[in-house]
Amino acid sequence: MHRDSRDSGADRHLTAPVRITRPTGRAAPLLYDSPHSGRHYPADFVTKATHSELRLAEDAYVDELLSDAPDCGVYLLEANYSRCYIDVNREATDIDPGLLSERWPADLAPTDKSARGLGLIRRWVIPGVEVNARSLSVDEVLARIEKVYRPYRDALAALVEEIRSTHGFVWHINWHSMKAFGNAMTPDGPGAARPDFVVSDRHGRSAGQAFRSLVVDRLRRLGYVVALNDPYVGGSIIERTGNPARDIHSVQIEINRRLYLDELLVEKNEGFVELKANLTSFTRELAQLTRAEK
């Protein structure tokens, strides 16, 4: 059994579930969140995987790619805990009962995410590498939900309502990174090559067409290959957050890791600086456009 509660760099002593950075200067009705870039592994996390293996599951350095966003007038919400501890981009009932040591006291609703080892409680880091060294009790999972999951979701909901009440509408982007090629745990399957970006809006349910098209267009203008809702249609966060009827528009963006990351070593590659600069330019333009929408 391997216990690894280490985390990296500035997160070493950080136990707060979320990090909120408000805009500097004039705020725009634009909200970014990064739910899978957290690197905190608490002491009650008992895993079979090494620290290096666990990092393969992170949306590594997405938080750093977005770090200029507040200077552009954007609200930024980031998860501090690793998705291997609990995944804040799943429904709270999306639990594989096979990971539990006892019966859950209410109904569960595991989805295809849990079937592929990617539910609220993750089974696999990557195919063949297990996360958990033992089964988890109901109390342990409930504690993770209360300590990490609900604070993230509550913070996101509060920011959305704050922005909407101030500006009348919200443009929200939920940021992720994806492997350069699919594997047995992904919807497109082993070996499937990915574009530079995937923009998702739950097939039009979480955002109006105008906002979705604007995001896709601006990324393509930067020279990137962009797919829409394929192979990802968007997760629980944009499904819960997006409400075009209330002028809350929410899309998910997946960044191909080959653009900025050595996936095996989980280290930034030579493309990181250029990608960050392009995303800052993209963000600045979106913020300006939101102000024009008022």
Domain ranges of the chain: 2-293
**Who contacts 115 (Cβ-Cβ below 8 Å, separation ≥6)?**
96
Instruction: Give the pLDDT of residue 158.
Output: 98
206/182 Cα distance (integer angstroms) = 25
Q: pTM for the whole thing?
A: 0.94
**Who contacts 95 (Cβ-Cβ below 8 Å, separation ≥6)?**
104, 108, 110, 114, 119, 120, 121, 141
Q: Across-strand partners of 19? A: 78
Q: How confident is the model at residue 145 (pLDDT cuts 50, 70, 90)?
A: very high
Looking at the predicted structure, is the pLDDT value of residue 66 above 70?
yes
Helices and strands (H and E) in the chain: how many:
8, 13
Instruction: Give the pLDDT of residue 294.
Output: 55
Asked if 171 and 213 touch (Cβ cutoff 8 Å), the reply is: no
* Architecture of the structural domain at 2-293: 3-Layer(aba) Sandwich (3.40)
259/245 Cα distance (integer angstroms) = 35
> Which tokens hold the place of 184?
């047995």
* Mean pLDDT, rounded, of the chain: 94
- Pair type for strands 18-21 and 75-79: antiparallel
Instruction: Give the pLDDT of residue 1.
Output: 33
The separation between CA 125 and the C-alpha centre of its own chain, rounded to angstroms, equals 16
Indicate the DSSP class of residue 225.
-
91/110 Cα distance (integer angstroms) = 9
Q: How confident is the model at residue 291 (pLDDT cuts 50, 70, 90)?
A: confident
| CA separation, residue 273 to residues 21, 125, 179, 259 (Å) | 21, 27, 19, 10
Percent pLDDT > 90 in the chain is 93
In this prediction, residues 83-109 reach a mean pLDDT of 97
Q: How confident is the model at residue 160 (pLDDT cuts 50, 70, 90)?
A: very high
Looking at the predicted structure, is the pLDDT value of residue 8 above 90?
no
